[in-house]
Amino acid sequence: MIEQKSSTKDLDKGIKQSDGSFLTPYQQAKRYSANLPYSQRPRWIATSNFKEFRVYDMEHPNSEPQVIKLEDLGKEYYRLEFLVDKGNEHLEKEQRVSLAAGELVGKIYSELLKQYKDPDSKHTQESINQLSVRIVFCLYAEDAGIFGHKNMFHDYLQDFDAKSMRRALIDLFKVLDTKEENRDPYLADDNSKLFLYCK
């Protein structure tokens, strides 16, 4: 089980949950795991914030996690091999798809970064990381039908030209962060109001 957070999140600090409690990403994943049927509970829990990966072995739940820094991933990737059953053809296919998706996200990231006025600033780095995470979430949510029906994200964006895309995304993220009953009843007729609440 993997609990992924943005680069601005501290993996040691509690994050407010929908029930009002504060849980670290590890505690959040453990709670998810505890609610699964016993036979489906994960052996491994991994948390990440795009800067480091922490791997917890549930055979030793009180032991310290293995920590892998993003900057060291190129030489320490083998420490994550437990995530993949190399003899499983289905998983190998999924891995190839994941790699292709990662390359696509990398291209999106690079093209978006070119649009920022100060691409090297700390604020820009934090902003584009957050934007990338949100776009990836939207792509997966669209594919899984979480938004209500498939292709909603695509259909929403196709109505805007390149110059209007930034405003369209800002408006959409605001809608996604707002419960349906609290949304502006006079939202523009751009289909954003059809998206389900995804807090």
- pLDDT tens figures, 112-162: 888 888 989 999 989 988 898 888 888 888 887 777 777 888 888 898 888
Residues 124 and 79 in one domain: no
Residues 128 and 55 in one domain: no
Please indicate, yes or no, if residue 162 is contained in any of the structural domains: yes
Domain edge (last residue) among 61, 83, 105 = 83
- For the chain, give the number of residues: 199
Residues 77 and 9 in one domain: yes
Dihedral pair phi/psi, residue 120, rounded to 5° = -95, -5
For residue 17, what are the contacts with CB-CB under 8 A and spacing of at least 6?
A: 23, 28
Question: H/E element holding 73?
Answer: helix 73-76
Q: Tell me how far apart the alpha carbons of residues 93 and 162 are, in angstroms, rounded to a whole number.
A: 34
Please indicate, yes or no, if residue 94 is contained in any of the structural domains: no
Please indicate, yes or no, if residue 95 is contained in any of the structural domains: no
Three-class SS of residue 57? strand
Please indicate, yes or no, if residue 59 is contained in any of the structural domains: yes
Q: Where in the sequence is the domain holding 46, given as residue range(s)?
A: 2-83
Cβ–Cβ contacts within 10 Å for residue 26, how many? 17
The total number of structural domains in the chain stands at 2
The pair of structure tokens assigned to 150 is 């498939």
Q: Tell me how far apart the alpha carbons of residues 115 and 127 are, in angstroms, rounded to a whole number.
A: 12
Residue 111 has pLDDT above 80, yes or no: yes
Domain edge (last residue) among 63, 83, 103 = 83
pLDDT digits (tens, 9 = 90+) for 21-42: 999 999 999 999 999 998 999 9
